[in-house]
Structure 1
Amino acid sequence: MTPDALTVHLAATVHPGTATPCPCPTGLLADRPDATVVRHGDTVAKAHAPGTDPDALARRLAVAAALPDVLLAPLGGTPEAVDGRLVTYWPHGTPVDRDDPDAAPWEAAATLLARLHRTPLDTSLPPMRGPDKAAAATSRLEKALKATPCPDAAPVLRAWAALPGWARGEDPAPGAPALCHGDLHLGQLVRHPAPDGPWRLIDVDDLGAGVPAWDLARPAAWYACGLLPPEEWTRFLEAYRAAGGPAVPPEGDPWPVLDVPARALTVQTAALALSKALAAGRSPDEVEQAVVDACARMTAHP
């Protein structure tokens, strides 16, 4: 579904029967192979990835509707089929300001995660899709390498092969599962549109049962790669613990729990970075090279 088609559909949904243009703010918020997101006024429409399971998505939407203190609640609970894609509707919230890293809401993100992880798990939910997304990123890199060899890819693929099967989406996850977001990063937070609205998590496509440490793994990986300052990692970890998050012990060294998920997220990030660099015919930039170098260190010191 093209962004223009989704925009027209959303406008007709918000203002049915209106043929004249309206003054509502509109815009394309995202256009990726796995999602197209557009805004019309206070409403956002998301066209989910082709092939999305409607029953699984409906279950995930039900969780978001039932946890409005954690997740941004959808506008309606049933996905709508439009031009072969499932479309859902959401309030328009204010995202994290990418140009003001000092204001990054690490404490809010950690507190919301802790609340999510403490929520009783609905056994009808599908598995959290984090490991599957890591596997897809590695598969994308392997396909890109068939057309364009890249020596930087070798340590990334070695680091992937060294991970346990559950982290590659091949085996059941260990331990008792918890309700997980599955793809936590600061782009998954918005301020609720209410006046002075609180932060809420968005994007339920990967929500499900899994290892809660996975949701802490991306900031942990950034910290380990030198991309997240120690003080910001400490703020995040301490806020998660203060809110009773069960993914890590309440005190002491968290890395025995975080190590495997953080390695998996490092590989995923490096694989996506190299795939994008190869597609653009360029060398990895400084940040991309940092995660590739981290994969090399992981295989040198497993």
Structure 2
Amino acid sequence: MAGNSRRQGAIRKPGTKKGQVVGSGGQRRKGLEGKGPTPRADQRPGHPAQRKAAAASRAADKKNKKKADSPELIAGRNPVVEALRADVPATALYVALNIDADDRVTEAVRIAADKGISILEIPREELDRKTNRAMHQGLGLQVPPFEYAHPDDLMRVAAESGTAPLLVALDGVTDPRNLGAVIRSAAAFGAHGVLLPERRSAGMTAVAWRTSAGTAAKLPVAMATNLTRQLKAWAAEGLMIVGLDADGSVDIDSLDLATDPLVIVLGSEGRGLSRLVRETCDATVSIPMSAGVESLNASVAAGVLLAEVARRRRAAGRV
């Protein structure tokens, strides 16, 4: 009979009652608290847009890794001559048959011959194929895959220099021109090496080589499997981690950490520093700018900050 508590199974066993037993445990109040702005669809775990973005990222990483393992071609007369002048390592210079030679072609062939680089004449159709039909103007320079250093090598170079370590780490900089320019600035202002994350970052492609003006051959560039973990490891060794951020905790004029063992972290061109990397930083620094200017290009901002660090180190006799 319904409601008969003597019926077998009608009495609920102790401890099995569902819902609230004594009070709400604060759940009602917590339920009323705000949870902040709703994340974008591609940032919500499990959302179709997030799964699609993650799949695209994995595909891009796989493509970039495959691309990094194979030689690249610098195409075009001016780019080829600039790369050869900058001592970009090359294995072959391709010259189209029956090319209309000008001063740039003559110089490219001369420099390649002086450096012992193979000079190969091939049909224009084959050069079209090798350069994926880029505007090659009859010249293509083959560049071998870049050999990255280990992060420990950067510390070794810094220790052997006899000066306070100065390293540069990039957090999601995806433009190879920016990467090349950062490496050039790092070499110019006394940094001991540059660290790249394995994922979501530009690699040392032919474009980055050319933009670095050959300094990538003189300054070690390392790659970390996990950028945050590597920054924490360097922090444990006594380095201060300083991130460049538009909303920094100090501005560049108050960067007293400049003379300490230092890692400067640069964020991506659009989003800046990632959350985990920002939380790893001991300080974030901003560059004061005139009103109406939102931000600087990543490589330009790197040059400004590195120049200030170098100036302070010279003044303190730390170089």
Please tell me the TM-score bracket, short chain as reference: under 0.3
Query: Per residue, is there more helix in 1 or in 2?
Result: 1
Q: TM-score, normalised by structure 1?
A: 0.28
Greater relative contact order: 1 or 2 (C-alpha under 8 angstroms, separation 6 or more)?
A: 1
